[in-house]
């Protein structure tokens, strides 16, 4: 009889223990979430810079999976991944937000590219990197008829461990061709071979974000 009582008591307590463990687990490992509101603030600055410079407006791609996963990865690792050539996957190394990468001796650094990546505590503040990519215009060629970029996307992710004073964010901005031009490039040119190369840099925690 005494043994049956102990067994019954143990069975009653098990569900509570499971809930307690689950609660501790969710607190220890919070789910990462993109900073959508801060992304909208960056987009407003981006559009404002182009308008002030009398450049044609670009349409915004709200959810670009490649950009989201790459910026999420940078936010977690605090390190900018690089291609074998030495070029960063995003940005051009002229980061006004600090990174852990040392740029000395890197001949691929600071080449003007149609993307930006920087860390900031205030995504609603205009930075040199944001301004640079907002003003980026691809050369039109001799006859002036080469198409330029038509779209852009923004991803903003908070760092997992914000500073004591305020949270920090990684901001990624990338320019894209029109939907038709990008489809042609990805399916009818050499881009087929490397268009998904970015996936090898994504950390496991970021593979499911969109």
Q: Can you give the residue ranges of every domain in the chain?
A: 1-30, 32-206
Report the chain's mean pLDDT, rounded to a whole number.
Answer: 75
Average pLDDT value for residue range 126-135: 94
Q: Which residue has the higher pLDDT, 51 or 8?
A: 51
pLDDT at position 131 is 94
pLDDT at position 68 is 96
Average pLDDT value for residue range 167-189: 76
Q: What is the pLDDT of residues 27-41, one digit of tens each?
A: 333 466 888 999 999
Edge-first strand order for the sheet with 59-61 is 59-61, 151-158, 169-176, 115-120
pLDDT at position 116 is 95
pLDDT at position 113 is 84
Average pLDDT value for residue range 169-195: 71
Residue 106 binned pLDDT confidence (cut-offs 50, 70, 90): very low
Residue 110 binned pLDDT confidence (cut-offs 50, 70, 90): low
User: pTM of the prediction?
Assistant: 0.74
Q: How far is CA 162 from CA 6, 75, 78, in A?
A: 46, 11, 12
pLDDT at position 22 is 41
Q: Which two tokens stand for residue 135?
A: 């003003």
């Amino acid at each position: 009889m005494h043994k049956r009582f102990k067994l019954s008591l143990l069975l009653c307590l098990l569900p509570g223990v499971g809930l307690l463990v689950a609660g501790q687990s969710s607190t220890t490992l919070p789910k990462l979430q993109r900073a959508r509101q801060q992304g909208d603030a960056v987009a407003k600055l981006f559009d404002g810079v182009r308008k002030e410079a009398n450049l044609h407006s670009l349409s915004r791609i709200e959810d670009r999976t490649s950009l989201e996963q790459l910026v999420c990865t940078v936010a977690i690792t605090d390190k900018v991944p690089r291609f074998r050539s030495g070029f960063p996957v995003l940005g051009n190394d002229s980061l006004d937000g600090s990174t852990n990468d040392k740029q000395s001796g890197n001949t691929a650094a600071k080449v003007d590219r149609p993307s930006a990546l920087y860390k900031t505590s205030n995504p609603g503040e205009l930075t040199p990197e944001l301004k640079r990519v907002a003003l980026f215009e691809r050369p039109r060629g001799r006859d002036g008829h080469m198409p330029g970029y038509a779209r852009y996307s923004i991803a903003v992710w908070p760092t997992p461990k914000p500073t004591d004073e305020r949270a920090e964010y990684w901001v990624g901005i990338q320019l894209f061709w029109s939907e038709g031009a990008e489809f042609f490039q990805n399916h009818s040119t050499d881009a087929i071979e490397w268009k998904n190369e970015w996936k090898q840099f994504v950390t496991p925690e970021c593979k499911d974000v969109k």
